[in-house]
Structure 1
């Protein structure tokens, strides 16, 4: 599709080389030694990793065709070194100059959790000081933002761990048949601790830092999403051009849709964050990825305080007023209206953070920004 302003003004910046680096992350000898190691076996050499870019899927080839979440990073970040990764979904890509490593976990929390854990236990890599940037497309609540917008998360909420009774059999006063384990129903106001991985809190100072760095960045827009957002009358944030915001993420393996499900997502987020969180984006993988990083942190293989989650909206979580959800969902499944804009937003916003970290590694190596 043809991208309009402000994307035209961003093209040169997106394709420009990253900031100058004081020193390469890995020298040629270290790279050669690591590439000689067998995956999942002991390796005396270690590749230093400054940033892990976590993507969830790719479409077709890694370069030169219709992009998924991985391709723009691979092509524009010069991730020319391929590391075999048979213990995961997809081979790894690495830039020895910047120390940026990209992974494709596969879709869903099971694949993301196992891939992140396998990465952290890979003896070829030193991830002890690495920052993790989860960068993927998402559904977005039209009450909060428009398609193409990019949201930095503070809370990650899991939408799968629960009780469920079919909606046709629930008590008349219940708002849904889906409710938290150990609770007395969807209206139960009793706070619960997320002991089973129902909710994770990211480092809020790091989120605030990333948001401050990127909040005023212009994001790509195009005629297709500009037309689509006009239908969301009564939702002023949905009618804005794409923008950067803060917003929490709900991860669930079921691709849900509709106004009632969006209300459930808002209620679920507020329940597990005790009213502190705000549901903005829906996806599938974050809680699995972060659970593995928490385990890796315990053995010194990762640092849970260096994790950032950025989701850019490829679609809305509900249809515009007057449209039934089944029709809208099925039409979106033929191709998300905001896919191109979302992928560009992820790269634009996420790339700004990656440049800052890797370009000033002496500043961020010892500890995250506060």
Structure 2
């Protein structure tokens, strides 16, 4: 059998198994397979990058974590194709693509396990060639009042996983270690201020600073949603000038933890840990549950040429402050004080994320397909140098657990 015939059969079968949910089930017979192919000379499906049987090569993939972050995208873009893939979240088994499959959107499910599993399933699915796709991780997050405000938009260079540590309850350490600022201690050491002696490899990721800066440059030109009157009131309770201000675009970094933490003590500790793990380079300003997990999946996929880690953006908009204002204690603030809702944060995901997407599509042929103009000049990847280069964080030696 000729190789061209094999390609044609592979494309037909892939198309048949990827039909939108709205079409329902097809009978498995030759007629059904033939009917699935529109009789058009313009229907020229071809794999242009690396996978001979893939039929979708989106230029941009939007990554949401749950429906609240997903729905504004579905309302603002023409996502008319529904594609259900094995391995995606049981809650969000379907991803969406625009009319010409140029932009697609996936919802991973919340938390590190869901994010890593969903991104891996997407990256390994043979229907998609993602080797030149740009990925925009766009979700809501808690925010540090020293560096951002309610409704603010943050674009990260570093993502730091702060949940991988020993943890002791307060009553178990306070007599012996009264100077500790929390019950967390990095792995392999007995000092809260010391770099961990052993790591898992997912503690720190660094993404493409040039691409991040381009996204920031474009997002600064848009008018953001300023939020509610209650948002404005809560902002006014803080001493920090940034927290008091209206939403804008910030270049600062994200921490990842499955634990939804709040309060001054934990924020002080994690802020310091972020500095320790990045040798003082990162500035923690937003807190999320998934980003390091997604970036780990992208790292593994990049190692085998399935994605390009240089084309990943991490954007988080601030839905709530991660520590209370001086006039309210942490328990009261967290459980009983309305911060005014997260409508501005959700709206600003689309408002701030759209400019870089538009720029990629408009300048694809001249700029973004080759990826040279905004290729990274900084180190990109994980603490283990999985993708090559030398990390500008970490220490000379450590044990990999």
Q: TM-score surpassing 0.5?
A: yes
Q: Distance in 2 between matches of 1:48 and 1:151?
A: 28
SS at match of 1:47: coil
SS at match of 2:370: coil
Are the structure 2 counterparts of residues 314 and 31 from structure 1 closer, same or farther at C-alpha, using a change threshold of 3 Å? Answer: farther
SS at match of 2:344: helix
Are the structure 2 counterparts of residues 32 and 322 from structure 1 closer, same or farther at C-alpha, using a change threshold of 3 Å? Answer: farther
Q: Distance in 2 between matches of 1:247 and 1:338?
A: 23
Question: Per-residue displacement from partner, 1:31-50 (whole Å, max 9, x unpaired)?
Answer: 987541269xx993420111
TM-score by length of 2: 0.77
2:261 counterpart of 1:281: no
Equivalent position of 2:42 in the other structure: none
Q: Quick one: which of 11, 17, 31 aligns to 1:37?
A: 17
Equivalent position of 1:322 in the other structure: 327
Equivalent position of 2:252 in the other structure: 247
SS at match of 2:268: helix
Equivalent position of 1:22 in the other structure: none
Q: Distance in 2 between matches of 1:158 and 1:185?
A: 18
Unaligned runs of at least 5 residues, structure 1: 1-29, 59-67
Question: Per-residue displacement from partner, 1:271-303 (whole Å, max 9, x unpaired)?
Answer: 111101000000100000000000000111111
Are the structure 2 counterparts of residues 33 and 353 from structure 1 closer, same or farther at C-alpha, using a change threshold of 3 Å? Answer: farther
Q: Quick one: which of 198, 201, 208 aligns to 2:206?
A: 201
Unaligned runs of at least 5 residues, structure 2: 1-9, 20-50, 376-401
What is the root-mean-square deviation of aligned Cα atoms in Å? Answer: 2.2
Q: Quick one: which of 225, 228, 242 aligns to 2:234?
A: 228
Q: Distance in 2 between matches of 1:208 and 1:43?
A: 34
2:58 counterpart of 1:49: yes
Higher relative contact order, chain-length normalized (CA < 8 Å, sep 6+): 1
2:57/2:102 contact within 8 Å kept: yes
1:156/1:199 contact within 8 Å kept: yes
Larger radius of gyration: 2
Q: Distance in 1 between matches of 2:283 and 2:106?
A: 28
Q: Distance in 2 between matches of 1:228 and 1:307?
A: 33
How many residue pairs were aligned? 326
Write the mapping of 1:347-358 to structure 2, written as runs, cut at 5 A.
347-358=350-361
Question: Per-residue displacement from partner, 1:153-211 (whole Å, max 9, x unpaired)?
Answer: 000000211111222222123222212112232033x5768552111111112112211
